[in-house]
Amino acid sequence: MAEAKQIMPDVLSIARSVQPIMLKSNNPQLQLPGEERKFVLVIMGTYYHTPTYGRLDVLRDVVLVVQEGKIVRIANGHEETEVQEEFGLAEVRQLKAGQYFMPGFIDTHVHAPQYQFTGTGTDVPLMEWLRKYTFPAECSFQDLEAARHRYSLLVKRFLANGTTTAMYYGSLHLQPNLVLVDSIERLGQRAVVGKVNMDRLSADDYIEDTADGLRDAEEFVTYTLGKKCSRIQPCITPRFIPTCTPELMKGLAEIAQKYGCHIQSHISECCGEVNCVREMHPEYASDAAVFEEMGLLTNRTVMAHGTLLSDDDIRHLARRGTAVSHCPLSNFMFGDAFFMVNHALSLGLKVGLGTDVAGGISPSMLSAQRMAVVNSRCIRAHKLAVSGGTTVTPEMEKDVITFKEALWLATVGGAQALDLADVVGTFEVGKDFDALLVDTNLSGTSGPFDVFEGEDDDQRFEKFINLGDDRNLIEVYVQGVCVKRGDEFLLDGSNVSVKATEDDSDRIMSAPTPVEPEAAYLDLAHRADSSDEAASVDVGAAAEQSEPPTKRSRF
């Protein structure tokens, strides 16, 4: 692995300095007979994962061996001595009671430059939110010093919350996106990253010419690939149909095909957006039909939301191998419908889970999992209300999920969505060791929940999923490397805690925010209001620039 060679010296120096924690061996850099020197991690304990949707599997008291980032052996506890002899270990690290490993979380939808205002700006509908908060915030990342600081905080916060892999949207301008890639590489996270493209219906100071956007998108791809970092992959990112001309979308599809890139965008996310697309592109029956025509539906495409996809749309996405990122929290905040996970899966669609920061007001995938369960219960409640009765039928229960299904979405589902199913998501020989060490022993107010006498491991783990937070995540591993322990980020030369200082709080907002544009904007969240004359004019103008409106079949 080219990337492993690049970071190995730093990893080994870290391993030496914290040898009793990383590897209870007299020789952390092991010499194996007839082999080159390799970094080995061996830990005995209990491992939770969800290889099958709806089922929580437990590997109890096993010895797991990681070599050069990959799981090379999973042995029963009684084979500990054999493993020690095979790998030349003085001893094997033993987890304490109440500590468990689980796969790292995979967040399939994050707007990286929106992190700075996460938890605020919840007072307006979607397009006003974009105009008032999002576009000015993203534009301010042209201050590269501020971008470096903010992105460092972003990646640390997500790692602290157990997100070992993230699919990031960057901003419009090229250079800040390079800073984002550099930050991810330095701190050890795994990521799929894209430069956002928009060449219509945006603020005057936050829009690009089509040719410039295509040039910058390709330059971003080559820069990211040029790092030869196996953890980081570039992504083509047309923001969504209303802000991207057909010329731009087709050009981006060609770049994605040329380099074999991931693609990400938003699809059928709310009534206003869907109605806007219908007005702009009346020749297409749906968002999915537009993306199909533009060449943007592939087996490496992840579309966010999809709450208003028809069954025909879902089946078509499934045939293309395209995935949907389910973002329950932001769907509650800005969407107009629920995403039916079980139904979509039954039609063959790949589904991952996303926080959708900052439309989603929490960077925690634990919160996203809980919201996914709540979302499913809301569907059940809606069906009951529509029935007008007081009897819950089996059909009403079809879309209900539990914490087990939610955990699958946050791990295996995300891995499938990002075309990483053979790399991460479960504990299997041959996969990378992307993992979280969970400690349920925190007592009193030092932890988020209490454990009572008689509760077994399974109950403790379920409590963590439903009540836990970053305080329970005492170690975070990516490709077998411990990137965070406690409050320390071990690959960060400054070893700065995730907890921001007063200076951090001042500096994070140091970049200038452009004055909000006074020009009329398209309010997708209120497209039913025909009195919005300016919006109607904008849509009409955009439609005139589209291809001739000859009615097309759905696909």
Per-residue pLDDT tens digits for 523-533: 333 333 333 33
The pLDDT-based confidence of 38 (bands split at 50, 70, 90) is: low
The pLDDT-based confidence of 4 (bands split at 50, 70, 90) is: very low
The single-letter DSSP state of residue 306 is -
Q: Where are the beta strands (DSSP E) in 156-261?
A: 163-169, 190-197, 232-238
> How much is the pLDDT for 34?
36
The pLDDT-based confidence of 20 (bands split at 50, 70, 90) is: very low
Specify the higher pLDDT residue, 458 or 4.
458
pLDDT digits (tens, 9 = 90+) for 194-234: 999 999 999 999 999 999 999 999 999 999 999 999 999 99
pLDDT digits (tens, 9 = 90+) for 387-417: 999 999 999 999 999 999 999 999 999 999 9
pLDDT digits (tens, 9 = 90+) for 508-518: 333 333 333 33
The pLDDT-based confidence of 335 (bands split at 50, 70, 90) is: confident
> How much is the pLDDT for 125?
84
What would the mean pLDDT of 97-119 be, rounded to a whole number? 98
> How much is the pLDDT for 443?
82
> How much is the pLDDT for 495?
53
The pLDDT-based confidence of 347 (bands split at 50, 70, 90) is: very high
Q: Is the dihedral of CA 122, 238, 305, 106 positive or negative?
A: negative
> How much is the pLDDT for 494?
61
Which of 338, 310, 312, 343 is CA-nearest to residue 326?
338
Q: How many Å apart are CA 492 and CA 470, to the nearest integer?
A: 19
**Percent of the chain at pLDDT above 70?**
82
Q: How many Å apart are CA 155 and CA 159, to the nearest integer?
A: 6
What would the mean pLDDT of 44-67 be, rounded to a whole number? 98
Reported pTM? 0.85
Query: Does the structure show a pLDDT above 60 at 183?
Result: yes
Torsion angle, alpha carbons of 294, 300, 303, 308, to 10? 80
For the chain, what is the mean pLDDT? 86
Query: Does the structure show a pLDDT above 80 at 299?
Result: yes
Query: Does the structure show a pLDDT above 80 at 379?
Result: yes
Query: Does the structure show a pLDDT above 90 at 17?
Result: no
Which of 523, 452, 427, 451 is CA-nearest to residue 103?
427
User: What is the Cβ-side half-sphere exposure of residue 209, based on CA atoms within 13 angstroms?
Assistant: 3
**H/E element, 30:** strand 29-30
Kindly state the tokens that stand for 81: 């001595």
**Percent of the chain at pLDDT above 90?**
78
> How much is the pLDDT for 442?
93
